[in-house]
Structure 1
Amino acid sequence: MKKKDKKNRNLKNKDKPTSPPAEFVAPAPHVWVEVDIEWDSLDKAARRRLVLQALEDGDIDVLWSATHHNLLLYGRGGSHTSQHTVRGYRTGVAAFLAFALPLGWQRMTDHDTDLTIGYLRALERTGLTPGTINARRSAARALYRALRWAGVLLADPFADTPRVADREDRWAKREAYSREDIAALLAVATPEEQRMILLGSHAALRMSEMTSLTWDAVDLAKKVMVVTGKGRKTARVHLSGPLHAALSAVPAGEREGHVLPWQDPKTIRVLLRALCSLAGVQYARRQVHGLRHAAATMLLAQTGDIYVVSRHLRHSSISSTEIYAKLSSTKLSDALDAWDAPEPPEDDAPATPDEDDEAAD
């Protein structure tokens, strides 16, 4: 009887899929191949056959093509979905497929929450932050939405796969460059790099907004520019004195096309990292978005008005501004240190009636 139980246990262990190796969780960059598929011209049966074959073949390009088409069709941004979002989803889809396909493509045709939750736990073991893991979850869920659209499965296992809890304070995730840091960066930057730094640290532009900004959106006479931000929302942004001077320094004949000569976000990151190294400024935990944090913290320190900061950062909610325009621990400790014990009165003489009246006012 014991031998039989041992044999059954061995069979169970043999059939149990092993965890994928680390390279499947963090795969090497995929060389993407453009797929020419007219998804709108296919009926559901044809879509189902094509997607099932792609799953069986491990064809990442076809599966991403279906996801991309579905994202532009049913995603919140629709056809206006930014390239930044598309790149993030494509990376996330490739990462999930690298994890899931070696475990058996058939599992992706079932409501297999063990697979989806196992994916998030595998990402946790790699040391990725909760924010990155949840972004990967969103990308994988977009893939599953495309699978449902193709008729490969009916239910979404990610609906029963909760997001990873983030226990770190939202305002502690990324630091801001200080006013001194910005000055040090500007001192070693070229004119083009100065425009980049000021667009982030003075105009509070996001990286995608920097790279997409064109000269026809800039009104130097009125010292404003029109920025298209998240959700394709447009807003007028006022120019600071240094930013206006940097933009005005560009010859009128060269004010065509994009304001910055770089449209690749990777180039912006590399440039800022190099400038930080040259200026002796910390880049870690700040990166490019730390410039936007700098705009918030400097403006808050100057005005003391979080609503002014919220308007400049174009936030729809003050709660978002509280994350960006965080008070530093130094300011907090300085404020608490100033809470000295009240000084004793100069004398014990009773107040006069006039003083009582004044106190009552």
Structure 2
Amino acid sequence: MSKRHAEVQRALEEFDVEVALRLVRGHARRGVVSDHTLEAYRTGLLQFFRYLQEQRLTVLGFDRLEAGLYRDTLRRRHKAATVIARLAPVRQLYRALQIEEIAPGDPFAEVVVAKPSDAPPRPYTPDEIRQMLTCPLTPTEETLLLLGANAGLRRDEMLKLTWGDVDLAGGRLRVFGKGKKERSVRISRSLRAALERLREATGKPATESRVLGLDTTHQLVYALEKIVARAHVQWRGVHSLRRAAGSRLHRETGSLQAAQKLLGHASIETTTRYTYHDETHDATVEDW
């Protein structure tokens, strides 16, 4: 056994989180771990090490049965997204230990993390979004689609958006989300064009007027149902427009933090993957 292996084993026996973090960081798949992600990893490893101590288990003696029991413990305490986030650094740790030939295998290799019922609804695919946008639409319908699929707004955020919240010159939407938290969202080129057409069609509406002119969630859902039927795509719900926006931004930038900022999530744990932060995401959204 090498000196390094002996030092790592001793540190893991003492549940040294900083040593575990260095291992995870050193073998990160993308080679880059942001400070934000590192803190999320620290939280996950601290919880795992506390569990091991409570159960009188060890890192290197942990087996597949115990891995399943730990997952079930997390499920009882957290939502599916948090379970995945808390297990991510633990999986990365065992991967690093395998690479360095300190651990013989990954006890979580065959552990299914999320229950099927916990899986979020699928977002509309890029092809489905294109199909909906290319079918005959009113200015209101086009704007509704793009507020969800490009700007990533929630249903209530779409309904409450007023013309006073729209800054076409500055290319920004002022959005009030959960808990009345305010965020600024970049207006994409296609959304800007749709908003201009809608404003012209409604005859220069007052600043306090609602952009979509809809009063209830039922009206919003019904409006999207008609578009989906017209475009012959599968109904996935209004929220899947928002999921499509987040998925697209994450796919195109590789940045989970960019998607978090666009969608106004309070916690990055609502997502299941972590990556570097890309400050150029506003420019990406503007090009949509």
TM-score by length of 2: 0.51
| Other structure's SS at 1:258 match | coil
CA distance in 2, matches of 1:193, 1:200: 11
1:307 aligns with 2:257: yes
- Does residue 274 of structure 2 align to residue 274 of structure 1? no
The alpha-carbon deviation at position 173 of structure 1 amounts to 2.8
* Higher RCO (CA 8 Å, separation ≥ 6 residues): 2
Match of 1:224 in 2: 172
Matched ranges for 1:50-65 at <5 A:
none
Aligned letter for 2:216? D
- Out of 143, 154, 158, the residue aligned to residue 206 of structure 1 is 154
Q: Residue deviations 1:53-78, cap 9 Å, x none?
A: xxxxxxxxxxxxxxxxxxxxxxxxxx
Equivalent residue, structure 2, for 1:332: none
Secondary structure of residue in 2 paired with 1:322: coil
RMSD value over aligned CA atoms?
Answer: 2.1
Residue 274 of structure 1 aligns to which amino acid in structure 2?
Answer: K
Three-state SS of the structure 2 residue aligned to 1:254 is: coil
What SS class does the counterpart of residue 226 from structure 1 fall into? strand
**Cα offsets for 1:262-314 (capped at 9, x unmatched):** 1211111112112111111100xx20000000001111111111111111111
Distance 1:231 1:217 in 2: 17
Cα distance in 2 for residues equivalent to 1:176 and 1:307: 19
Percent identity between matched residues is 35
Aligned to 2:216: 264
Structure 2 equivalent of residue 184 of structure 1: 131
The one-letter amino acid of 1:311's match is: K
Contact 1:315 1:321 in 2 (8 A): no
5 Å-filtered alignment, 1:1-361, equals 167-168=115-116, 170=118, 172-188=119-135, 189-249=137-197, 250-251=199-200, 253-256=203-206, 257-283=209-235, 286-322=236-272
2: distance between equivalents of 1:192 and 1:240?
A: 16
Deviations 1:159-208 (A, max 9, x none): xxxxxxx94364x2311001111111112221110000000110000001
Please give the alpha-carbon distance, in whole angstroms, between the structure 1 residues aligned to 2:192 and 2:205.
Answer: 13
**Is there any run of 5+ residues in structure 1 with no aligned partner, and where?**
1-130, 132-165, 324-361
The equivalent residue for 2:45 is none
CA–CA separation in structure 1 for the residues paired with 2:240 and 2:203: 32
| Equivalence for 1:26 | none
Which amino acid in the other structure matches residue 271 of structure 1? A
CA distance in 2, matches of 1:209, 1:241: 20
Query: What is the count of residue pairs matched by the alignment?
Result: 157
**DSSP 3-state at the match of 2:173:** strand
- Bigger Rg, structure 1 or 2: 1
Quick one: distance in 2 between partners of 1:271 and 1:174? Answer: 19
In structure 2, the partner of 1:15 is none
Deviation at 1:220, TM superposition (A): 0.5
Encode CA deviations 1:7-27: one digit per residue, 9 max, x unaligned.
Answer: xxxxxxxxxxxxxxxxxxxxx
Quickly say closer, same or farther: Cα 1:274–1:306, change in 2 above 3 A. Answer: same
User: 2-side partners of 1:289 and 1:183: how far apart?
Assistant: 17
Which residue is equivalent to 1:328?
A: none
SS in 1 for 2:170: coil
**Could you state the TM-score of these two structures normalised by the residue count of structure 1?**
0.41
Partners of 1:207 and 1:289 within 8 A in 2: yes
CA distance in 1, matches of 2:271, 2:174: 20
Structure-2 change in CA distance of 1:200 and 1:302 (3 Å): same
Structure 1 distance, partners of 2:205, 2:151, is 19
> Which residue identity is paired with 2:130?
A
Contact between 1:210 and 1:260, CA under 8 Å: does it hold in 2?
yes
